[in-house]
Amino acid sequence: MPIQRKLIMAGNWKLFKTGPEGAAFVKELAACLGAVEGLDVVVAPPFTSLHQVAEACKGTAVTAAAQDVFWEEKGAFTGEVAPHMVRDAGAAWAIIGHSERRQYFGETDESVAKKARAVVDAGLAPIVCVGELENERESGLTEQVLKRQVTEGLSRMSAEEVAALAIAYEPVWAIGTGRTATPQVAQEACAYIRGLVAERFGSQVAERVRILYGGSVKADNASELMSQADIDGGLVGGASLEVESFAGIIEHSRP
């Protein structure tokens, strides 16, 4: 009998919301949602808002994530933040290798692997992002790109650690563009990722790992996306910035 994986709905706020704005958002969202069963709700504020948001999450069904981390615990790394620091601020999760980090800030598969290792060592749960560019999809390179990113990004992890993390498939051409991969396209990519995990870490690990879809997720497409066999939640950008839209996505995704 297949394992029933708990869904994750994660809101990535990117460069939005001060601490007071984020805390107020969480309180309003928690009031809208009430009790949430069978679904992890996560919000990822900027570093400067993380502590206030995490404090607001206490006693609610919402947990906080960092949008990024560095792989060293301390040292002469101006501007960087270590995993244990975001844990101290109240984060339970950390997003690793988001496409914007890769595109604008030089993130590589090697740095993703180092960050994922550091996140787990700090007692946090990583959400490891993978996904192809538009020209890569049009050139038929989607599977090649995903294989490289998954294989190298998880290269420092044990099978048990991989089973406990989340992988977010985010086709870069669908992020913030209003273009959403069809449920069938998203399912094909997520199934391929699960197959890669099975090849490297075994079928039992692949059955347990949670794979999210990210790319213009909205309330009107969430239900169909989340009903796909290999999609275990969403990594939501713009639609997670307003309580009404994010709550709508969560409601349409409940098991």
Residues with catalytic function: 98, 170
- How large is the greatest C-alpha to C-alpha distance in the chain, in angstroms? 51
140: left (phi over 0), alpha (psi -120 to 50) or beta: left
The dihedral of CA 168, 172, 178, 181: what is its sign? negative
Say whether 108 sits in a helix, a strand or coil. coil
How many CB atoms are closer than 10 A to CB 111? 18
Q: What phi and psi values does residue 236 have, to the nearest 5 degrees?
A: -105, 130
Token code pair at residue 107: 């993130």
**Cα–Cα distance between 75 and 82 in angstroms, integer?**
10
How far CA 218 is from CA of 109, 160, 167, 250, in Å, comes to 29, 32, 19, 10
Report the first-to-last Cα separation within the chain, whole angstroms: 18
Which residues are CB-neighbours of 139 under 8 A, at least 6 positions away? none
